[in-house]
Structure 1
């Protein structure tokens, strides 16, 4: 069986030491609380991995330095990764997700193929290694879509990625792999790609915001090709509109044809709302293999919503995992 690691980035926003250090550098409070507030779902993330993906090789938990109180750090599959292990001292402390995501290949001992999770991404039913990689190639959605700027989005950063992409690829490159970009798995969504065919430039890709299957050697290639852009990003302590992101690596994988098409129905993205009807139905009926529960500024009642979601997860993942003390 192929070895595949999972990587999870996590912040304990209640840690007084972390708060003090963050405030020391973030004097203008530019880091919104919704980007870092903890929903206390992490214990269910580990339970879901044990239940639905017991084949995982290692789980690398990347943190500022704190460790979840419930976690059995002596479990042979758990590796706690301090930011200091992947960043030179001159760049620390780091509070930027883009910097973290572009440095995951530096995790000591990480496998060539790994899956990157945010802490709002969950496995919701049984998955296999082949759901993420086939013959070493990541499974992904090769679907074109223009980038649309929205208030809470990262369009500026994605446009930086696309500027590099358009310096090295054009329409002919994705037409070389037309069978991967236009296929039955995309259904009517193939129209997204077809509509953009008149333009020679790459105007964007459809991003599901799901856990990303990534390849270590592809990271190393991007760092080798664009050292200035990568260094510029990790030099910023906080996310900036001038950053580059992990999407650059994903887009490069797509346009070189170095991926295997996957169904759009494999995962589902949700914005957490005060009305949790659709999310509760998703978790209890296990409609999709992967789900994302994204925090946002429009949520009115954080504490009540948090308690309700914890109850739903607890009803589905009832057994204590070996990852717990």
Structure 2
């Protein structure tokens, strides 16, 4: 087409050449631009950026978010802790999972959105799932963002309020108006480089998932093997919270017992992976399974619906858990491996390279925080996760770490996004 325009222009007389040349130049430039429907992408990349691929599907982005400093949230949380204390069921693990660090808001969402607008502005729409909270800085006049309340996606009102991310995640596919293929992110995920749909999904390869080097455990406490979990027999060697309470095989759970792994970070997260892996060993066969890395996950609603049909009881039980439980059907692990092993029609491509992502756990430790954040600034990997495990009881150390965190945010993403209210 471009050659035809050129021949036509130069076949005319000299008086018309100048004006026709301008017209042809405009046509040529227009034809070089990538045009997308559904307002997926509306800009031309600079020479320093990789050329975007032509999107064949609209893609939305879903966040889950909570503001732990909200007095209403804190009041509901205190009442839940009081109930657990009254029932003598506030184990050390549960107390940790209801700690301040689990719900702290250090403006991660604000800067995550800046990274999206900077590196992934082909996203069609952004949904932020909350318990009714709205970030005070969020520009609700931006037509590309919608707040979704938990009540909008939970079928049973009795399952709310919930403080379990596992419970919420199993319901995000129900968001009204959500695209068939969407990306799920925690608010502490960031893009350090330009990303395209090809980083998550292609028609040929299907869903792309980045895996960590961590292998899901098949043994707990040295004596409890995964094949003993949910085998219909109460195995006392497995009836501890760090061994997923034997998968619920025992009639009574000794809630008063302090877990042997007291102080272990994210105990219920790791234990729920152990439990989910044990279930999948029974359903799909025993095998080595790597744990998905803390990176954005591409999800297809049709696959998710098949997933729910295959494991309705496990998903329902997880949805009813108001706080993280060792018996949770861990979301990313269960969805990803269902797609790999339980969905014969689903295409899937696994990546095991740590060069794609950086994961940093933040503690109330100034030296470690400086070292880790400097590393992130230097490497600027495609996917970044900054997980908050700060002990806020260590007031001075926590304040220093948070200050360093904000300095990192501003260094990486200094430009205010259109999702923020202009002061």
Normalised-by-shorter TM-score class: 0.7 to 0.9
Give 1:290 shift. Answer: 0.7
Matching residue of 1:23 = 78
Matching residue of 1:319 = 415
* In structure 1, distance between residues paired with 2:379 and 2:124: 24
Confirm or deny that 1:167 pairs with 2:282: yes
Give 1:42 shift. Answer: 2.1
Q: Which runs of 5+ in 1 are unaligned?
A: 171-200
Q: TM-score, normalised by structure 2?
A: 0.65
Matching residue of 2:120 = 53
SS of alignment partner, residue 125 of structure 1: coil
The structure with the larger Rg is: 2
Whether contact under 8 Å (1:142, 1:254) holds in the other structure is no
Q: Select 1:100's aligned residue among 156, 159, 168.
A: 168
SS of alignment partner, residue 318 of structure 2: helix
Confirm or deny that 1:82 pairs with 2:149: yes
Q: Select 1:261's aligned residue among 346, 350, 354.
A: 350
- Larger CA deviation: 56-65 vs 250-259: 250-259
Give 1:105 shift. Answer: 0.7
Tell me the C-alpha RMSD between the 2 structures: 2.2
**Aligned CA distance change for structure 1 residues 259 and 144 (closer, same or farther; 3 Å):** farther
Whether contact under 8 Å (1:9, 1:63) holds in the other structure is yes
Whether contact under 8 Å (1:132, 1:138) holds in the other structure is yes
Confirm or deny that 1:215 pairs with 2:300: yes
Q: Which runs of 5+ in 2 are unaligned?
A: 1-54, 221-260
Q: Select 1:294's aligned residue among 387, 393, 415.
A: 387
Whether contact under 8 Å (1:125, 1:286) holds in the other structure is no
Matching residue of 1:204 = 289
Deviation sequence 1:103-151 (CA, Å, 0-9, x none): 1111111112122111221111111111111118221146885324772
Deviation sequence 1:223-266 (CA, Å, 0-9, x none): 11121111111111111111112120111123356312334321
Q: TM-score, normalised by structure 1?
A: 0.84
Total equivalences in the alignment: 295
**Aligned CA distance change for structure 1 residues 206 and 237 (closer, same or farther; 3 Å):** closer
Confirm or deny that 1:249 pairs with 2:323: no
**Aligned CA distance change for structure 1 residues 227 and 134 (closer, same or farther; 3 Å):** same
Matching residue of 1:305 = 401
Q: Select 2:325's aligned residue among 226, 232, 240.
A: 240
Moved over 3 A (4+): 141-146, 261-264, 297-300
